[in-house]
Structure 1
């Protein structure tokens, strides 16, 4: 037993010596990998093999502690450009934001910022889907134009901004059409109004105004349907109230009834505002566009709902 106890420190000491001997070799190996991948990245980028260049720079940055500050900066800059040129726009945007957070005042920042804006628009889906990337692209494009008013990329960024605004405009328009088609005129009217205010140049303004007023006219019908559904829910809640004994459950049901009554009042207010806004909007429409085809259709629609 005593012999084993004496051997244990010797074994541990031997392992320590081995690990210390290997450590410099391991670090030297990592330094070699860093430089190897960095040089390969430069080589592939010059050849125009941007996918391979991107992969090499990513690998080099896994060993960035063995690269000089200038090499790290150059690797990150060319990584942005490689991803962008390889049409990998998600990675281009991610790497661009990383570069800008680390080197905001560098000479390369202007170009990287432009790549970020362009990449965000490229990543953004068609107008039928979520436009979070489009909204971010618009924000970044405006920031770019404010920060670099004399930039050589100004024209390109303005074009990107125009493309992003158009995509967002059609997204809002398609949502309005969806609500209109599925019988939610109040929701459709709100969306058409937003399109009128924010994106009038992308559509026929007189047709947009027509669709806005048309859905205002139909809003009382939606209000009527909604109130009927709510009244049915109130009836069910009152019936269940007669069967409940627990005070907490009674309290919960009464709160529900109170909430539902508030919803009826809300729809009454929506209906009232829609009627008032219809009168004002119709008058403005006539003043701006005259008694055109759309105006006459609106008058017929009003007569239809009155009858």
Structure 2
């Protein structure tokens, strides 16, 4: 009797193991099939249906090898649809949930690219410009030898120039409404923080002009001499020298 009972127990355990193994194989197969279907829809540009499939993979098969793929392609769908806020969110989500994913590096870069696409004209709020700069710099720190490092630097320069332009426009506005002190505050922001942009020279020139108008000749001379020493090959040197001659009269 005991022997029969033992045999029944062993058979039950065996069936349970086989059942679990079969269930696991079915799950892997199902996740694979779902992902294949999602990619077919994605490649056919049926983005709405593709996103539904990738969402199902995330919900039903979160531990499968296709979970990070699904997360990445959800972000890609957002990016393709110009939904850049959602794209940045989903790229960041991939990095948080799957830090070792093969998509981690490109997701970091495309997060920055999403913020770049959200960066507005200089006249508007520059929150996303700052976010894009931070994100591209984070990518450069993480992957200094990557082929995208140089392109990230080009984007950073473009975005920094936009910030400098915004400050220059504000400085010019304050000068127009006869508020030279406020104008100089924004010019100094450019001079101190954005010397690598084309607005640096323009800010120096405007500041010298304002100082001359205020009869602050010694301060103007100091800035002129500093510029001549540091930037002897500047295309705007002739304008600086013209202001120097103007003071000498």
After TM superposition, the score normalised by the length of structure 2 is 0.71
Does residue 280 of the first structure (1) align with residue 216 of the second (2)?
Answer: no
Structure 2: give runs of 5+ residues left out of the alignment.
1-26, 229-236
Cα distance change on mapping 1:37 and 1:214 into 2, 3 Å: farther
Aligned residues: 209
Kindly report the root-mean-square deviation, in angstroms, between the aligned alpha carbons of the 2 structures.
3.1
Does residue 71 of the first structure (1) align with residue 66 of the second (2)?
Answer: yes
Distance 1:192 1:170 in 2: 10
Question: Post-superposition shift, 1:51?
Answer: 5.2
Residues 14-68 of structure 1 deviation map (CA, whole Å, 9 limit, x = unaligned)? xxxxxxxxxxxxxxxxx9xx9798665322112234455345434x26xx44224
More helix by share: 1
Distance 1:39 1:213 in 2: 65
* Larger Rg belongs to: 1
Distance 1:108 1:52 in 2: 22
Cα distance change on mapping 1:175 and 1:37 into 2, 3 Å: farther
Aligned residue number for residue 45 of structure 2? 48
DSSP-derived class of the 1:87 partner: coil
Aligned residue number for residue 24 of structure 1? none
Does residue 92 of the first structure (1) align with residue 41 of the second (2)?
Answer: no
Poorly superposed stretches of 4+, deviation over 6 Å: 34-37
Residues 252-307 of structure 1 deviation map (CA, whole Å, 9 limit, x = unaligned)? xxxxxxxxxxxxxxxxxxxxxxx5xx62342330462587223345678xxxxxxx
Cα distance change on mapping 1:49 and 1:72 into 2, 3 Å: same
**Which shows bigger deviation, 48-57 or 72-81?**
48-57
Aligned residue among 186, 189, 210 for 2:181: 186
After TM superposition, the score normalised by the length of structure 1 is 0.59
Answer whether contact 1:77 1:99 (CA < 8 A) is retained: yes
Does residue 293 of the first structure (1) align with residue 242 of the second (2)?
Answer: yes
Aligned residue number for residue 98 of structure 2? 103
Distance 2:100 2:62 in 1: 19
Question: Post-superposition shift, 1:94?
Answer: 1.3
Cα distance change on mapping 1:295 and 1:104 into 2, 3 Å: farther
